[in-house]
Every structure is written in structure tokens, then in C-alpha cells.
Structure 1
Amino acid sequence: MIPAASRMVHVGGVSRDARRRSSGAGIGAGLIAASLLVGSIAEAQTPDGGVTLPELAVAGDARPSQPWGLVSAGIARDAGTTVSSVGRNGPIDDRPAADIGTVLLDSPGVTTRPGNGGRDVIISIRGSNARSTRVTRNLVVLEDGFPLTQPDGVSRFDLADPHAYAGIDVFRGPQSARFGNYATGGALAFHTRSGGSIDGYEIGSDTGSFGSLSRYFTVGGASGPVEISLFASDARGNGFQDHASYDTQTVNLLATYTPTPDDRFVLKVIDNDVDADLPARSSLNQFRINPYQRGCAAAASAAPGCTLTNLPRNGAFGPTVGVTADEGGFRRNDRRSILGARWEHDFDAETTGRAQVVLDERNFDQPFYVNSVRGSYPSINLLADLTRRTDFFGLPAVASVALNYSTIDIHATTFNRAPYGGPRLGALIGDIDAEQSNLGGRARTEVALSDSWTGVFGFGLEKSGIAGRSLAYAYSAAGRTTTRTEADRSFLNLAPELALVYRPNAEWAFRGRAATGYATPTASNLFVTVAGLPGNNTGLRTQQDLGFDLGADWTPWAGLRVSLTTFYEFFRNELVAQSPGPGLLAYTFNVPASEHRGIELGADWAFAPGWRAVAAYTYDDQIYTRFTEQLSAGAFVARFDRAGNAIPGVPANQLLLRIGYDEAAGPWQGLGGYVETVVQDGVFVDAANRLTVPGYAIVNANLHYGRPLTGGYAKRIAFYVELRNVFDMVYAASVQNLTNTISARTGSENGAGILAATPGSIVAGAPRNVVCGMKLSF
């Protein structure tokens, strides 16, 4: 993003630096007039380095500014916001971070799951997305102020190479008042390294078990009004399971041009291509026998516990044949291309406006399991906002208004899979053609009520629409039948937010927050039936949540920071996805009422010279409070009350604990290491809570060394080696929720034994492995 003169605004009431700060692009006299009435948020960035616990004042620094609104990033860490940050020092610099999930575990409230090949991970904040296994939903993702979440609410992390980043902010809890649609769980704001901080170039390589190899380089610098940073990487591996190789390339560019002190132009380019083979998901019984699906090249000679997927012999209907992942050629080839541009202008020392446009294309070819989905999802995202720093009835205040419009063109086809011969397509069974658009506005004001008290009020109003049609095809000996489903849905959502912070002294800050979030269904949700096939599911409603946070932050001295947050969130019409059977498409349904409540604890303690301990703990208790599930089989239809049951897929307890030492001086300066453990509870697989997949505790050990170089062209060298899963724990890293069933003979609900034998649910985590790497800076 754009380096700009920093502006420090303490809304806690003490000081205010009048220097200008970059804040984005706003246009239109009407928007300016509205801004003068409402004002704006002063944006703040998080300094790079370490795990930073929530800061409650609006404080700027030399880090690049970023826009507010749906595409905010750097986003104001204002009073009452529950936010934590992960810096480059440690989680990224000192370890071979293969994917972004490895890094984000440093933040309380975050759960990660392996996705579908390569660097793909599924990220959840407060369990909001823990049930998904294909894409990340219910949170908004931004990079350098540009949205990585498309207008249909989908985020993927194939394109996120941790080596590229200076830091990541994690906003927890409902955030639609500032980020708009789909921010029911929170938001992630990625910050790439600035050209000035790189000031040269860096090359690196990580290699390790299972044929993993990652090569990358970064180049950056600043000259006069121009600052550029460019990152590129190539990552590949064989995977620790049969049929799990991957190959992905990423290019990431950030360029800034500052022709005058009042104008800044920013260009952002990201391009990622991923090609990955996918192993089959197993049942719990198969996982216990053959967790890594080895010896599963061919069904005729398959080892015990291999998962077979039944595909129609003729690719359309009739008799099926069971195939392994190799025989089915399960794979995915996806490409993501993002082009963003922003203009920022300072009207005066207190008023800044911005305009931003982002073009985003998601193209995918995914012939895995019983269906193959192909699609192209081009989108455009427009933002205009204005900030104003002023007084409110004599009190220091910052405020802002923002307008945002986004639209996505959705076209996807679904085919049956045909057995053998690689990823061979069968008959066309679905064709979706739709458009989704979101038009919204947001306003926010933060006021220093006294030297100790700060108040924040904000709200967002957004209208979303989905219009399109789905064609579903069914085949039999008599021929093909076609079912056409039309959708023309409109959703209007309002999201207020209110926060209050009390700072009695420099050591303590107490905060309270009430906020709302919303997430509309997407076209893909509307056109998948409960049978896991293309069809009519157009009755879905908007997911809404009302959340309350109470927290305290304690910094008694420079070496200790502790943050404790309790949250209680009430959901209405929560969108829940689950699988109707092995290999079928996951379908989405509304749960009328549910509750999420828990505790988040973060701590960073330098308890002795060179020693440091980091902890991130989450307790997350999620239950249905009103939900009756209807199941059918044969001639029977039965209804079951799930109220009081735990929501499946969400671990109640998760802990990251890391203890390490770094030599700060002397001949061994730069040498360090740490041991960490990641502990996670088991999870229920089904809404009836009949089957549990066990939890796990993973231990990792790291040794690293880095030091500056003198007398040559190179400036710094770094080495690291990491032993992961030291005790070779066999564990389920990803679990797809399963639908409960009833007996077609008796009508009674089937027990845990049936679910434990149902394939299509579990992917194992990596066994013991070692990865090492080096970096050289010039």
C-alpha cells in the first residue's frame, strides 16, 4: 500500500498529530457533504512483528494506509474492536510457513482446516466457517485494502503465500457495519511487504518431506514518487497421501505513485494458478484403518480401508462401479486473477477521499468425486469513501462514510463423472447462469468522550440481489429430462454497531461491543438440493447474528501483553452446509435459531532474557436453540428436534502454546528455536450428535538462525528447520459434516455405526515430517 506521512489520532483524548495521512479515494459533492455531517474513522495500522494483542486507540503509524468500508484493510483498530495481529517476526520469518493457516493459529478465535490441495485452507473465525470443506465463507478478506472476497462471499487461500506478507490483522465477531455482506464471523486484512522495507531483493527456498518444494523471490524499493514490491513463488509437492500432489504459482505486485503530496495512486495485481490431485475423503471407519489412503491405486488391488467412489459406468445413469481417487482422476485446476487500482486525495489536512476499482476473475475446473464443476466467475468491486477529522460538540472525533457496489457474473456447469481414463466427464447434469450484486453504504463515528472514555457508533445498509436460472438434467433409459429453476431474490440488511472503551491508565483497557452481521445466500446455495444435486433450493434466507463482546487488555510492562474476551452471539437463519452422501455436492439450509458463546485468550510474555511464550486459546460453545430436522427414507418421513444439540464441525476448545528462545547478543546472536503444541477438541459430525471424530494434540519443534552479512553483496542470511508432528499423531484434520438418516425399513433414526461407515467425510492431517529452508537478502 501507499507509504504516507503518518497521522496519530488519540481518540482517548490526549493528543492529535495534524500531519496528513493517506486514507483512500472519495468522489462526488454529495458524498463530501454527507461526510461533513457524519465524519470519518481515522485509520490505523499495526506495526510489523510478533503477535500483537488488540490495541484500542485509533493510532496511525508509518505503515501504508488502506481504505475503509467493505474493502477496508489497515482498517482502523478503533475503540472496542476485537482484533489481533500476526507479524512477520517469528510466525513467517523463522519458519517454513507452507500455507496461511500455519500463521493464523497465532490468533485466538481462528480455526483452520486443509482445503482441496496445495496451499488451500479453510479458515474460520469463532467457528463461523468450521463446517465448510470447499471454500471459506462468513468472513471478508482483504489485501492491502483490496478485496479478496468476491461479491458472492467466497474466499480461497491458494493465492495467499505467507512469504509475501508483513502482517495480518484478524477482526473477530460480526463486522458487517464496516465490511458489509458476509462479515458475520469477522474479517482478515493481509499486508504485503512495502518496497521501501524490502529495499533490494530476497530469494528463498523451502524443501522437505513428501517432495515438498517452495521457491520464491521478493524485490522492492522506493525511488522518488514511486514505490514497488513484487513477489513470486512456485510451490509443489507429492502430498502425504496417495493421489495428493500439487503445483501452484503466484505473482503479487503492489505499486504506488505519489505525484503530489496530496495524491496517491495504487496498483495491485495478483495472479495464482493451482493444479492439484485430490485424495478421496474417507469414513471414520476407513480413517481408522488407512488414514493416509495408501495402497489405493486401483480398486482391484486396494489395501484395506481404501475409499471407493461409485461412478455410473456410462457416465449418466444406471449401474455404478467403485473407483479409487487415482482411477477417477480426482483433481482441480483453478486460476484467480485480481487487478485493482485506487486513487487517494487529501482535500485538506483533515479530509481525505478515495476511489477504488477491483476486477477479479475466478476460473475453475474441478473434476473430483461424483461430479465435475466448471465455471467462470468474473466480478467487479467499486468503492468511494471520505474521512473527516473534526470535533463533535467540542470533543475530538473522527468519522467516515463509504459507498460500495459489487457484482459477479456466475456461470457454472456440473457434469457426472465417468470412471477410468483420468478425469473423464460424463453427462451434463446442471447449468447455472446467474448474477449477484451488492449495493451498500456505511457510516462510522468515534468520539473521545473524555481522557478515559471513547465511544464508537457505526452502521451499514446494503441491498443484495440474485437473479438467474438453473437447468438440472436427469437421465434414464427413456432419455433426458430437464428441470428449470428460476431465482430472483432481493435482500435488504441493516447492521448497526456500538462500542465503548474505558482506559483508566496505561496498563488497562476495558471494552464492550454490540454488533451485527449478515450473510445472504449465494447463487450456488440456491441451486443445490438436499439430495446433493443441481436443483431448487431457492427458499433460503439471510443469515443474521447479533454479538456482544466484553474484553480487557492488560499490559503491566513492556514484556507482557494479555487480552481476554468473552463473546455471546445470537444467530437467526444460520446458513449451515452438510453432505447428503459420499461425493455429492454439499447443500445449504437455514437453522432458525442458534447461539455461539465463548472465551478468547491471547498472551505474549517475554519472561526471561531471550525467552518468549505465546498462547492463543479459544473456547467456543455453539448450540442449536430452535431447529427441527426432517428426514425421509422409503415411505417414512420423520421430524427430530435438535434444540440443545451442539452444532457439528466446531471444536469447543483450541489452544496454541509456543515457548522459544532467541540469542540476542554474542557469537551466537540470531540462533533460536521453539517448541509449540496445537491442541483441538474432537467434533461432532452430525446434527443429532451421534458421532464424534476425536481431537488431537500436535507438537512441532523449530530451530532457526539468521544474521546480517557485511563486506559483500548480500545483506542477510537465514536458515531454519522444523520438525512437525513430532510424535507422529494420526489425526483427522478436516471433517465434512454428514446428514443423519432414518431406516427405510423401520423409520427410526440410524445410529453412529451408519455414520461411521459413511465415506466422504475425513481427510487426515500430515504425519511426522521435516521441512528446512534458507533465505538470502541482497
Structure 2
Amino acid sequence: MRLFLPCAASIAVLAASAASAQSPPDARRAELLRQRDAIDAELRRIDATAPSPTAAPASNAPAEPRDIIVTGNALTLTTKVAGQTDTTIANADFRNTPATTIADIVKLSPGVTITGGNGPRDVGVSIRGSNARNSFGARNIQVFEDDFPVTQPDGLARFDLTDPHAYGAVDVVRGPSSARYGNYAVEGAINFRTRSGRDLQGVEAGIDGGSFGYLNAYATLGHAGHGFDYSVFGSFARADGATGHTGYQTGTINALATLALSDRDRITGKVIYNEGDFRLSTRLSYNQYLANPYQQDCDRAATAAPGCGTISVLANGVNGARLTQTAAEGDLARNDRRTIVGARYEHDFAAGTTWRTQATFDSRVVFQPTSATPFRGTLNSYNISSDVTAKTRLAGLDSVSFIGVFYNYLDAQNYSFNKTPAGRNGIGTPTQTVFGGVRNMGVRAREELSLTPDLQLILGIGYEHSQIDMRQTAYAYPVGASPVLTYIPALRDFDNVAPEASLVWQADPALKLHARIGTAYGIPQSGQLFVTTAGVAGNNADLKTQTNLGVDLGAEVKLADTLTAELTGYYEWFRNEQVTQSAGVNLLSFTTNVPRSIHRGVELAVRWTPLPGALPGGYVQANYSYNDQRYTRYTERLTSGAMSAAFDRADNRIPGVIPTFVNARLGYDTPHGALAGLGGFAEVTYRSRYFIDNANLLSIPAYTLLNLNVHYDPPAGDGWWSRMSFYASVQNLTDKTYVGSASIISDSLNAAGQQNPAPVLMTTTGSLYAGQPRTVYVGVKGRF
């Protein structure tokens, strides 16, 4: 706090200096803004000391996030995007929950499914099945924080660098969105919004604890005044996983500040720093999972219990004899460091015209001895954009016009090695190096035109040129011979155009309808170009760009304050969809193109107060997602030794995509009286059965989880007690054992050239992690 208070004082001095140089009209505007701040403060004081007896009393919990008072007219990237299917998850929905990972937040949006990632804190987030076939991080969606990009130019974002306690809201934008977000926005975008200083006006600090050694200590400092707003968040979290040899400790710093340089100029700064150390287990075969889902008694391979996962490492780290090790013996792990620094400058040319320029530096430094081939890399990226938004009248109609240019570049230096038996730092000879870069550049334009007061037309288009310039050197070490080096260059250029169009009709004050046609594209990720279909380093540089065209039809309903609902149906046509599969626990995942596929589904969200008179604090909150995704043209060739056969996958379900996902809460928050602020809910999460191979022979069973939550948020008033809040939560109350994550596996051939059946696929390693068993969390926080 000592560090940040002088910073706040400096910001206030700068703002005052800027105000003193304003012209008379500007000075008058500044004075009115100061008066409005004073009025707002007095109203808050009155509301806190004399709440209405018929209304829900004010809470010490923060209000939903509001824009800083010195905003311009720049078109928001991700919040309430006109014509797009989107959902905003407010802080009130997750502030009194454990929120150990962002999965606890985004599961509240329709169209989103979640799975476990590569480790106890990593999660896979999929919009309309976009990321369902990836075993870690996020692919095929663009991820932002406070509208600053956290997806690197090669299309990868990770969710384990973020602590949900920092956020005030999350925006989920769904559907093909490259006209707005460019490369890799195949199924939309997610924007995390940190808490604003205006909502904090002080310090909030808390501590959460729970089963399996979970502990998270966090604090947020924030303040706002005329012409400035800042918030700084910090946390340290650690846990021992329920699965053997899993756990983590990670620290995060997350800061956002906006300063008005003048009445027309603003600058916003963003900093994210995260470093984490993660212990990892191996992914299991289905049979191993059935025998030992949480990999207990797996310390040593020689004495391991049935079902323990193992890796095979070279005894000398070069070639020859191999040894079998468990995850604990090999000390499989990840140590990742992420630093993001961004700045945004806005200038108002006129009352309705704003120029915005933004630059972001994003550094990812990783050391990942996660398997028999450890990986080390430095991936630094640079992202620059500049755009103009003009709110004017066009042909006599209200108009919002947008045009912008952008450039981003990733500089990658990656190394892979043979692992030796000497634990985490047992690094042997190199197996491959990949050096080079990925760049994207282009232009976007958008027009939002109000045809009538109730009917809006939105048109958009984006053009992007992308280039992958990577060079791989693969190393082989024949016994008794000199090393063999194979050099594989990949220089690929891609040009993509993405148009979109939508209509939004406010048919009634309680009913809004929209229809949209959107397009998207995603070039291959650079790492996919150098892994063959055998799961080894080699040439796969002919991968193509995947594209999709989609149609959305949606409706939003709001009946007084008792019912809000959104319903969307979508149908999308894909070409050259990129499908990633695991070749086995000691091999690398590889990617192929599918010529044609279709994605279609339904998304529904409901918030209902069924008895507003008799039970005003009772509510039902639910979302439902249905995804029917299938290959329509795909012939897959399987090879085993001298045997080779082709199989038609048309009409097969795309593996990894969960057809049905439901999340529902039944809750009650006491609105007034002696127990005002006391509440709780029962939450049910259902995930249906899904396939994990292209032949649709092996499926993961459905599951239903039950969570319980109770919390106390005392109403605002005098005394320290009203500044505190408490919660307790039980996750997976029935202690159900279920598959939390499953990588896609490859089908295989038997000696007769026929596909192996499900019992054989059940022995394929490198796929499954168990989900979290029954876990208890408690937490307390206070505001000062």
C-alpha cells in the first residue's frame, strides 16, 4: 500500500494540473463533474444510513462495474457488442464463491463448456466447442483483459495466469468474430474486466482456505477522483492437488489505471505479472483411470499401485536404454512466467469522434519438463492497434462508424530435450529447436446504423495478412554414430477476409431480437507445423487455414425485474477444421485438417425470481448449451507398420465436443430484516457423454455434480462488521469420481488392418485426468 498511495497522489496532482490549463468551457465542465462526484458521494452516504424498509438494503459488496467518468466515444471491443450474441457475468454472481479458477465464472454463461487443463489450476474453456480438442490453454477464441489482448499472435492464451478475485465482470462474445477480432476468433472472445477504483474507494483484502491445502491470500487497492481511476490487485495462491504429484503455488499482480490528461485526452495503463510453479501427473488411459483415478501410491515405478501413469526416459539422456518413471520420480512440472504491459491513449477530436491507439508487450517464459521431452521457450509478442470511432449522422440516420489498423508479432525461441532420470532438472540432449516469428497485420471497418429508433443494421469487415516464418532443427542420435540434424523451414503467407452483418430489432421494450451472419478464420499454430501424424518431430508444414461461416438467431426477454432470458440458435459451416489428437503419453500431439464439418446448437440463459412478493430473495439462475458438431467430409487414413486403411468419418461426432452442458442455481438472499445479507444456493452442473476418438468408439461418461454455498454479506452501515463478508462452499458434495479432462486419442489398426475396438482404445495412454473430488472452501474478506 505504501507503494501505491504516492502513485495515487501523483495521479491526482497530474489531473489537477491538466484541469488548471483548461479553457473556460472545459473548466466549467470539470467543475460540474466535481459537483457530480460530490452529489454521488452524498447519495451513497444517505443510502447507507437510511435504507428503505421495502427495498433490499445496500450491501458492502461492490456495485457492478461502471466506466470511469472521463470516457470517450471509442467503440468498446468486447462489452455489449451490438449485433453479437454475448453475455456479461457480473461480480455479484461469483464474489461470494471460492472462484479458484476462471472456470467458476465462465461456466455461468451459455455456450461455454469447461474441462480440466494440463495441471491443477489450468482449465480448458470452450465457446461452442472451439477449444474442446486442445489439452491445455485456449485456442480458437480471443482473450482480453480490460480490452488488452492476452492471446499471443500464435493463437494461444492461458487461463492459469489469472486470479478471479481481481475481476468485476466477464464478457463472453460468441460466434465467428474475425471481422472484429481477427485471426483465431473462430468462435468469439472473452474479456475479463478488473475491479475499478471507483467501485473500491479503499482496500479490500481476503483469505480463502480449503481442502487439499488450498490457500489464497489476496488484496485490491483502488481509488478514483476527478480525472483518474486506478486499482491494483495482488494474490498468492497454493494448493496440493487431489491427484498424486499435483499442486501449485502462484503469485499474481494485476493493475489498471486511467488518467485524464485533459478534457479530451486520456491514457490507460495495464500491467499483469504472474509466475507459477506447478507439479503435474501424467494423463492416463481409460483403464488406468478406472483402476486408480487419483494416481495414489505412485511414488516409484518399481512399487507403484495398479493404474499409475508412467513415462519412459533415456538412461543417458541421449539414446539407447530407457527407464520407466512415475510422475513423482521424474518430478514432472511447469514453471511459467508471464509479463504483460500495455498502454492505451484516447483523444476526442470532437464530441462524437475518438481516436484510440493501444500498444501491448507480452512476454511468456516457460520451462516445462512435463513429459519425456521437456520444453523450454521464450515467446515475446508485440501488439499495436489504432482506430477511430465517429458517432455522427449518415444519410439522416444515427451512425457509429469505426475503422482501425493493427499489427502484432511473436518472436519465438523454443527448445525441446530428451529427459534423463535426474528429476525435474534432468535435461539431456536437444531433440528439436524452433526459432522464428508469427506476424499478423490488417485493417477493420464497422458501421452501426440506426434505420429506425428500434431497428439497427451492423456491417463489418476485416482483412488480415499473416505470415509464419519458422525454422525447425530436429536432432537424432543413432547409437554408435554421429548425431543427425534435419532442418525444416516453414515460410507460409496467408491472406484472409472476414465480413459480417447483423440486424437488431427492439420489437418491444421487453423483447430484443437479432440475426447475424459472421465469418472467421484461424491459421495453423506454429508448433503444429513441426509434429507429424506419428507424434514425433517432423514436417507438417502443409496445414491449411480453418474457416467458418455462421448464422445466429437470438432473442432477449426482460419482464419487469422478475425474469430475464436469452435464447440463441446457431448453425456454422467449417472448412479445413484443425483437429488435434494425442499419439500417446511419450509422443507429441499432432494436428490435421478436416475438409468439411458443421457446428450447430442452442444456447439458453434464464434468471427468474418466481415469487417476488412472497419470496423476494429467491431466484433461479440457469444456462443450457447444446452442441451438435459433426464431420461432413473427412476420410482418415490409419497406418500401422505395413498396414494402411482409409475410413470415412462423415456424420461422426467431432471428438471432445460435449453435446449438452447445464449449470443451474437455486438460491436465496435475505433482502431485509435481522438476517439481511445471509444467503446461499445449491448449484447443479451436468455434462453429457462425449466421444474422444474420430471413429466414435470410445466415449467419456456423463456426470452430474452438486455444489452448496452459504454466504453472509452484512448490509452497509456503521461499524466494522458491515465491512466484512463470509462464505462457505462444498464442491462435488456427493464426492463423485468423474473424468475432468480427456485429450483426443488416435484410432488404430490391428494386424488384419481393421480398426481396434473400444477395449483396445481404453489402453491408450496420455488422455485422462480425474476431476476434483469433494472439496470444502471457506473465505472471509473485509473492506477498509
Q: How high is the TM-score relative to the length of structure 1?
A: 0.90
Distance in 1 (CA, whole Å) between partners of 2:629 and 2:137 is 21
Q: How does 1:550-561 map to 2 (within 5 A)?
A: 550-561=553-564
Counterpart for residue 43 of structure 2: none
Q: Which SS does the other structure have where 2:494 is aligned?
A: strand
Does residue 646 of the first structure (1) align with residue 649 of the second (2)?
Answer: no
Structure 1 residues 306, 63: CA separation in 2 closer, same or farther (over 3 Å shift)? farther
Runs of 4+ with deviation above 4 angstroms: 48-52, 59-69, 708-715
Shift in Å at residue 480 of structure 1?
1.5
Does residue 81 of the first structure (1) align with residue 65 of the second (2)?
Answer: no
Counterpart for residue 333 of structure 1: 335
Check conservation: 1:66, 1:74, Cα contact below 8 A.
no
| Aligned partner (choices 744, 762, 782) of residue 756 of structure 1 | 762
Q: Which SS does the other structure have where 2:179 is aligned?
A: helix
Counterpart for residue 19 of structure 2: none
Does residue 702 of the first structure (1) align with residue 709 of the second (2)?
Answer: yes
Counterpart for residue 348 of structure 1: 350
Shift in Å at residue 651 of structure 1?
0.8
Shift in Å at residue 551 of structure 1?
1.1
Counterpart for residue 776 of structure 1: 782
More deviation, 308-317/298-307 = 308-317
Does residue 618 of the first structure (1) align with residue 625 of the second (2)?
Answer: yes
Q: Which SS does the other structure have where 2:139 is aligned?
A: coil
Tell me which amino acid in the other structure corresponds to 1:354. R
Distance in 1 (CA, whole Å) between partners of 2:91 and 2:431 is 47
Check conservation: 1:610, 1:663, Cα contact below 8 A.
yes
Shift in Å at residue 50 of structure 1?
12
Structure 1 residues 560, 193: CA separation in 2 closer, same or farther (over 3 Å shift)? same
Shift in Å at residue 64 of structure 1?
8.3
Structure 1 residues 67, 172: CA separation in 2 closer, same or farther (over 3 Å shift)? farther
Shift in Å at residue 531 of structure 1?
2.0
Counterpart for residue 37 of structure 1: none
1:65-99 residue CA offsets vs partner (Å, 9 max, x unmatched): 69978xx6444521x210011010022x1111100
Counterpart for residue 604 of structure 1: 607
| Aligned partner (choices 500, 504, 515) of residue 503 of structure 2 | 500
Tell me which amino acid in the other structure corresponds to 1:500. L
Structure 1 residues 610, 265: CA separation in 2 closer, same or farther (over 3 Å shift)? same
Unpaired segments ≥5 residues, structure 1: 4-18, 21-47, 53-58
Q: How many residues align?
A: 724
Tell me which amino acid in the other structure corresponds to 2:743. Q
Structure 1 residues 316, 374: CA separation in 2 closer, same or farther (over 3 Å shift)? same
| Aligned partner (choices 564, 568, 585) of residue 565 of structure 1 | 568
1:520-578 residue CA offsets vs partner (Å, 9 max, x unmatched): 11211111221222221100111100000011111122220111100001100111111
| Aligned partner (choices 207, 212, 226) of residue 210 of structure 1 | 212
| Aligned partner (choices 509, 523, 526) of residue 523 of structure 1 | 526
Check conservation: 2:624, 2:660, Cα contact below 8 A.
yes
Distance in 1 (CA, whole Å) between partners of 2:505 and 2:286 is 49
The structure whose Rg is larger is: 2
Counterpart for residue 461 of structure 1: 463
Distance in 2 (CA, whole Å) between partners of 1:105 and 1:51 is 21
Tell me which amino acid in the other structure corresponds to 1:546. L
Q: How does 1:399-478 map to 2 (within 5 A)?
A: 399-477=401-479, 478=481
Check conservation: 1:407, 1:438, Cα contact below 8 A.
yes
Check conservation: 1:330, 1:423, Cα contact below 8 A.
no
Counterpart for residue 548 of structure 1: 551
Counterpart for residue 257 of structure 2: 255
1:231-288 residue CA offsets vs partner (Å, 9 max, x unmatched): 0000001111110010000000111111211000111000000100001111111111
Counterpart for residue 188 of structure 1: 190
| Aligned partner (choices 717, 731, 746) of residue 739 of structure 1 | 746
Counterpart for residue 722 of structure 1: 729
Structure 1 residues 66, 645: CA separation in 2 closer, same or farther (over 3 Å shift)? farther
1:302-352 residue CA offsets vs partner (Å, 9 max, x unmatched): 111111222222223333222110011100000000010111000010110
Distance in 2 (CA, whole Å) between partners of 1:555 and 1:399 is 29
Counterpart for residue 26 of structure 1: none
Structure 1 residues 502, 628: CA separation in 2 closer, same or farther (over 3 Å shift)? same
Tell me which amino acid in the other structure corresponds to 1:511. H
Tell me which amino acid in the other structure corresponds to 1:263. D
Q: Which SS does the other structure have where 2:339 is aligned?
A: strand
Structure 1 residues 68, 281: CA separation in 2 closer, same or farther (over 3 Å shift)? farther
Check conservation: 1:143, 1:189, Cα contact below 8 A.
yes
Check conservation: 1:342, 1:354, Cα contact below 8 A.
yes
Distance in 2 (CA, whole Å) between partners of 1:687 and 1:457 is 37
Q: How does 1:679-694 map to 2 (within 5 A)?
A: 679-694=686-701
Counterpart for residue 283 of structure 2: 281
Counterpart for residue 154 of structure 1: 156
Counterpart for residue 487 of structure 1: 490
Shift in Å at residue 60 of structure 1?
9.5
Distance in 2 (CA, whole Å) between partners of 1:64 and 1:123 is 34
| Aligned partner (choices 537, 540, 549) of residue 534 of structure 1 | 537
Q: How does 1:51-200 map to 2 (within 5 A)?
A: 73-78=77-82, 80-91=83-94, 93-200=95-202
Does residue 665 of the first structure (1) align with residue 667 of the second (2)?
Answer: no
Tell me which amino acid in the other structure corresponds to 1:596. H
Shift in Å at residue 479 of structure 1?
3.1
Check conservation: 2:556, 2:565, Cα contact below 8 A.
yes
Tell me which amino acid in the other structure corresponds to 2:484. T
Unpaired segments ≥5 residues, structure 2: 1-10, 13-28, 31-59
Q: Which SS does the other structure have where 2:761 is aligned?
A: helix
Tell me which amino acid in the other structure corresponds to 1:767. P
1:446-469 residue CA offsets vs partner (Å, 9 max, x unmatched): 111113321110010000001121
Shift in Å at residue 227 of structure 1?
2.0
Counterpart for residue 584 of structure 2: 581
Check conservation: 1:266, 1:341, Cα contact below 8 A.
yes
Distance in 1 (CA, whole Å) between partners of 2:243 and 2:585 is 19
Structure 1 residues 51, 265: CA separation in 2 closer, same or farther (over 3 Å shift)? closer
Check conservation: 1:138, 1:183, Cα contact below 8 A.
yes
Q: Which SS does the other structure have where 1:479 is aligned?
A: coil
Tell me which amino acid in the other structure corresponds to 2:748. T
Check conservation: 1:236, 1:246, Cα contact below 8 A.
yes
Tell me which amino acid in the other structure corresponds to 1:502. W
Tell me which amino acid in the other structure corresponds to 1:452. D
Distance in 2 (CA, whole Å) between partners of 1:728 and 1:753 is 27
| Aligned partner (choices 207, 228, 239) of residue 230 of structure 2 | 228
